[in-house]
């Protein structure tokens, strides 16, 4: 593993929950669908299973709520939806993140084309 990789994985872990929230902004999703969409984004998720503890925490935090709905085949599924509190948290983080990212870029990429 490259020396920077561990750090990046810590950083990734902190940001991932907001990525989940932002996926839920438009519509509610069930676990498998949500995980698939996250995995489709390059370099965001290393092991898909770890998203489930994250979802559980978001639920307990009150940022997402869950409902059950019938599926085409098989048993009912648990759907995750963004709550108002989650929406506020996401908006707050997005503002902070843009500023943070710009500042880091400014320093890291100084002098690079």
- Binding residues for another protein, rule: CB under 8 A, are 13, 30-33, 35, 39, 46-50, 52-57, 60-62, 65-78, 83
Least distance (Å) between residue 56 CB and another protein:
5
51 Cβ contact list (under 8 Å, min separation 6) = 16, 20, 31, 34, 35, 38, 45
For residue 66, CA distances in Å to 38, 54, 55, 79 come to 19, 14, 10, 5
Instruction: Give whichever of 69 and 98 is closer to another protein, judged by the CB atom.
Output: 69
Least distance (Å) between residue 73 CB and another protein:
5
Least distance (Å) between residue 70 CB and another protein:
5
């Amino acid at each position: 593993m490259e020396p920077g990789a561990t750090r990046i994985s810590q950083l990734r872990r902190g940001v991932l929950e907001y990525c989940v929230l932002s996926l839920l902004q438009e519509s509610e999703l069930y676990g498998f669908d949500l995980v698939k969409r996250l995995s489709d984004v390059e370099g965001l998720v290393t092991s898909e299973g770890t998203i489930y503890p994250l979802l559980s925490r978001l639920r307990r935090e009150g940022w997402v709520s869950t409902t059950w709905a019938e599926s085409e085949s098989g048993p009912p599924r648990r759907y995750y939806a963004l709550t108002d509190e989650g929406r506020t948290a996401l908006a707050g983080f997005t503002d902070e993140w843009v500023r943070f990212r710009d500042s880091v870029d400014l320093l890291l990429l100084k002098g690079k084309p």
